[in-house]
Structure 1
């Protein structure tokens, strides 16, 4: 396969398309059991930050197991605009930041991708200056960058925000950040990753206390270590980074996506199906598996990196509170809400991570769910069945929740807002088709509709 620059993929909607231009639809006919094995793609949230981390190295880097997603395309375009050579070959990205020459990230791309703010740390570390517009992404909460800014200031950077852009620079002859002791008021994944990357090339030792412990933080630390960084404590609440003068070339493979794996576990649960997932890291799914078992599902580890879900006799209500890792992930909240709408009894979901992440409630209620919202709590009373309806996805994980609800609902559901889905799931519709789902994606509803695709249950 020939190397090619990162451009909008022909298999994805235009990654520069504004949401209002998105005309794609997904029709799902529910009530069809699923069966077979689904292959889990590389972790989106690891891929994006590791791509930014490649800015730290002036040599060739090869990153494997990179999912084909709109967000990955956007990040590739942002890095290319900064002077980085980015080419895709299969599931691998070949990157070279030797000629990193721009310190300003382009607003028109950054405004569409929250993870683009990650580049501020590597840019400061490499160039001593960075200008990054305040980020965009899903409208699920404010997600301020103050923790990033205060941490960079503690490392000696002059940081100010002017006209929507964060300006950061390091004074002095060598323009290098200085090691510091940083306490995060909240264990923010983004702040932890930004500051960890910035510290890899700083003078002296940096300690990040109350650090995020997510598997994606560990993955980034392992990637940086593979380039020669000195990092210890990743995966705990205290990370210590000893700065080095330079990083070197590496070949690195990204971990499986725990949120995609969790989504397919819920797909098996909500359709009462027997599914196998590979590859996965079961330890990354501890909280998700515990809640599925509490609801009544059977989860077994067939091998160290393969999970199987089989249905139980009854689905019973359970309460969920989202928390930083190793607590229950906010990125699985919407999917579990879909499952709990069909579980016996009353459940309460408490969202503590993002303040605006319950907008999918109205769409699930359109399908016959019985959900009430009070503040950051959703009270779900289980119903015997859901009914197909036209619904609109409001963010990435909400779109997955609507797909799951549609798989279990009676009749046909039509989902709009697939640009959200394409940001974070690699060919979710295609994978479900190969498991036996009955669905149809129409990327231009004004064109002639294609024949409904069906694939016999089996391997994905």
Structure 2
């Protein structure tokens, strides 16, 4: 099992290219199930989660070719469809549940295993299945599989009121509604950029969608969708992560492809902490204004609020801030599992339920630490970049799910970091 070795103390200077968004590409890929014509995604990230979704879609009958060193995915689903999404694939990644809506929409029935993924909370499927049930699906859970069937063979439009703004459920219902009979309205819909990107792709395929980016999305079903070519939006979580690198280490880094509109609430907190972010012709440039960063309080919220997927990385920065910060996690339970590992590096963190109080120290100390989930793994790397001595981060297989060539990108701006192959 591989580890990453970080030797702290180096300022970072240069440029880091930002990849296409994992959390956009994953819901875009199942859209190929909705049409017999080709769907091509450009600016695709090269990640293990993308390979898992590729494996799943191929098992369902899709043909997928990776082009341009993996940055282009050429997909086609013109043949017979297998409607059974097997546990052995689905268990690897929670986003696998996004095939449920498209399979129901195209074939009228599906058997999809309950999904797996990071251990950062329950994240139940109820909101997905409740919405599809309102669209005329009969869904039964047996032997770990969701057995779903559309009454009359085709889903029907419905007005669906979500109890909270679930990103995954919004995506699943959007995908399903494109081929449903009539109009579907999603109230309390998620507003993330990845939702807007999915809507753009589906519109390019001939779907009728309005209101994406707001809390009410309307989808008028059509009889068929056609092929399209769509560029995946830049990854705002990778962007925010690498923006924190010069903030925690010093120096100045330009994030190529970054856009302020993707990280507005995050940039507000950086500004309050003493981090300068400026737009350039090619992206965003980030540097610390002077001295230690200032403590700030952070509360995670659905977009356009502070992203839960940047909470762990922000905590790493605040471990060295001047003063005491309070981080409140309102999206997922169990998402402070990185805190004990940061404490091993000398951080002062007190976790009480969904709230973590962080009292900044002047310097973290390198230590052996263990990644518990995707975002926690990169937070430990950021902490290691700022720490005195050597930090060894183990269980970095989590990292490969969401960060493309993280070692090469950080080394490119001056970080002393390497990946170690271990037997």
SS in 2 for 1:122: helix
Name the counterpart of 1:288.
Answer: 266
- Once residues 143 and 171 of structure 1 are traced to their aligned partners in structure 2, the CA distance between those partners, rounded to angstroms, is 27
SS in 1 for 2:54: helix
User: How do 1:95-134 and structure 2 match up within 5 A?
Assistant: 95-134=75-114
User: How do 1:367-446 and structure 2 match up within 5 A?
Assistant: 367-443=345-421, 445-446=422-423
**Structure 1 residue 195 displacement after superposition:** 0.3
Pick the aligned partner of 1:312 from 285, 289, 296. Answer: 289
Q: Does 1:137 align with 2:109?
A: no
- Once residues 149 and 42 of structure 1 are traced to their aligned partners in structure 2, the CA distance between those partners, rounded to angstroms, is 29
**Structure 1 residue 171 displacement after superposition:** 2.5
SS in 2 for 1:251: strand
Q: Does 1:268 align with 2:229?
A: no
Alignment: residue pair count: 420
- Once residues 83 and 106 of structure 1 are traced to their aligned partners in structure 2, the CA distance between those partners, rounded to angstroms, is 13
**Structure 1 residue 110 displacement after superposition:** 0.3
User: How do 1:216-231 and structure 2 match up within 5 A?
Assistant: 216-231=194-209
**Structure 1 residue 100 displacement after superposition:** 4.2
Q: CA RMSD in A?
A: 0.8
SS in 2 for 1:356: coil
- Once residues 305 and 414 of structure 2 are traced to their aligned partners in structure 1, the CA distance between those partners, rounded to angstroms, is 32
Q: Does 1:213 align with 2:191?
A: yes
Name the counterpart of 1:178.
Answer: 156
- Once residues 407 and 5 of structure 2 are traced to their aligned partners in structure 1, the CA distance between those partners, rounded to angstroms, is 10
**Structure 1 residue 350 displacement after superposition:** 0.3
**Structure 1 residue 168 displacement after superposition:** 0.6
Once the two structures are superposed, residues 364-408 of structure 1 have per-residue CA deviations (whole angstroms, 9 ceiling, x without a partner) of 000000001011000000001001000000000000100100001
Name the counterpart of 1:12.
Answer: none
- Once residues 378 and 251 of structure 2 are traced to their aligned partners in structure 1, the CA distance between those partners, rounded to angstroms, is 17
SS in 1 for 2:351: strand
**Structure 1 residue 61 displacement after superposition:** 1.1
TM norm structure 2: 0.98
Segments of 5+ residues of structure 1 without an aligned counterpart are 1-22, 447-460
**Structure 1 residue 170 displacement after superposition:** 1.0
Segments of 5+ residues of structure 2 without an aligned counterpart are none
Q: Does 1:163 align with 2:140?
A: no
Name the counterpart of 1:346.
Answer: 324
- Once residues 242 and 156 of structure 1 are traced to their aligned partners in structure 2, the CA distance between those partners, rounded to angstroms, is 16
- Once residues 438 and 315 of structure 1 are traced to their aligned partners in structure 2, the CA distance between those partners, rounded to angstroms, is 22
- Once residues 191 and 59 of structure 2 are traced to their aligned partners in structure 1, the CA distance between those partners, rounded to angstroms, is 31
Name the counterpart of 2:211.
Answer: 233
- Once residues 132 and 350 of structure 1 are traced to their aligned partners in structure 2, the CA distance between those partners, rounded to angstroms, is 34
SS in 1 for 2:29: helix
**Structure 1 residue 285 displacement after superposition:** 0.5
- Once residues 34 and 54 of structure 1 are traced to their aligned partners in structure 2, the CA distance between those partners, rounded to angstroms, is 41
- Once residues 133 and 85 of structure 2 are traced to their aligned partners in structure 1, the CA distance between those partners, rounded to angstroms, is 20
